[in-house]
Structure 1
Amino acid sequence: MIYRWSLLNHDKKILKKVKTEWNALLKNKKLTEHDYHKFLSEHAGIILSPNDFSYMVLSKIKLADDYEVDFVTIEDKRSNGMRYNLIEIESPHSPPFTKAGKPSARLTTALQQIDDWRFWIKENREQFKRLFPNETYKVFKGHLNYSFTIYIGNRENSEPFLEKRNELASERNVTIRSFDSLGDYIDFNRFSDLAPDYAAEMTEFSYEIRNQLASPFFKATNHSMWKIFLKQRKGNAHIFTWNASTIVNLREYNKLYYDFINKKYQKRCHISVHE
């Protein structure tokens, strides 16, 4: 059975529900980083998955026993290999800058965290390559293709210092965004019924597997499950296309997945393989 995930591009009920819940969380000053992490982990496919070439989001990934990364998004950059974006989340209620225009204590701590990760990668290159496999065709094999993002503050407490924030981000080679921007992703993301066959390996999989791979209702994958995937995977290049079946079976799906395919949607949420 092939489900029409593309219906979400027009029928926004489910996405509006997610956006409403997210906005409510952002307004609640009693919540902690843990609460925001939990929600993002539950809705990783909708909020954190950047495009049609990203089918896994990792949660609480350990860099040996030294550090723990809140989230890692994985994107297939085709000839440029797999790109891993290491994400640090803070709080929407923590302004990135003081009233005097200086980086706040919370932002300073987050930037130090990124520096620590960067140094760890430099000192543990081979270990990083095993944890985040990659192989490219445009550059030498084993190229480390990664980036860093910090989510801190909200639109209101970030607005007065946007230029300063962006300048700092450029200087430190890191992306700094507000928590509101995560809500924007819910609005801007577009969903497809099938994972595209941009690599020859994808054509080996059935339409059903490609359809399930394209589902936006997957949760973030924790460190233990990621280690299992690494043991089972084939290849380092195009790991989504080489391992579509494995990914579909390892991922967990949230309640919205079952809401989407329940009887209320049955007449229009699926099509036959030959349609």
Structure 2
Amino acid sequence: MTPLLDLRAITKRYPVPGGNSVTAVDAVDFHVMPGEILGIVGESGSGKTTLSRIAARLIPHDEGRITFDGEDITRISGAKFARHPKRRALQMVFQDPLASLNPRFRAREAIGDPVHRLGTAAERGRAAELVAEAARLAGLPERLMSAYPHQMSGGQRARVDIARAIVLRPKMILLDEPTSALDASLQAHVIRTLLDLRSELGLSFIFVSHDLNLVRLISDRLLVMHRGRVVEQGVAQAVFEAPQAEYTKTLIAAIPQVGRRRSV
């Protein structure tokens, strides 16, 4: 089977004063198969968010190749990709829905925005139907469709963000810390929604998080990043049960467990 998304030797550098640069992502290779959920974990500054935004063509990279749905999209600029036909098949859910949602848009308008920007004439003609179906799939009640972002809870805004991402039935969604601002019960609801969407729509996901417990619940495979590099990757269960890299062992050992005492 051919990967849906394939990144090869992706490198990203940022300039720093003095004419030097810092490498945020260093020659990273990974792929995602159709219907697969890939978890990307690492501490803050590991490069995981930068990598996901490069994969979504939201920021440029310096070296490497990105192939999505059988097409090399490396040479497409971020500005052009925003209107490219492949954009509708590759969507993103951000860490802070309150910041990513237009404060002047009600939930209904926010969910329908991709239809008007990227949809066909036929889809724009049935935008209301598509929006209602996306809201249903994301678990967003009808009573909230006229609410503005500031009138909704964090969990409700997260569902608007998910509904907006699926309204055009993409093939893949990249999720950057989508539950970090939610409490444990709401996190569980969002994870359940994502798994249901994978089952119902055949979606692939990249799930970026620092929370290994959540990644363990949702991921088929795991990518562990440290200082811009991939230090370990493999089937999620195997990585958790028998990590090979010392950094991975440290991350897993730090997972809070009920009944575990901290050493003093």
Q: How high is the TM-score relative to the length of structure 2?
A: 0.32
Q: How high is the TM-score relative to the length of structure 1?
A: 0.31
More helix by share: 1
More strand by share: 2
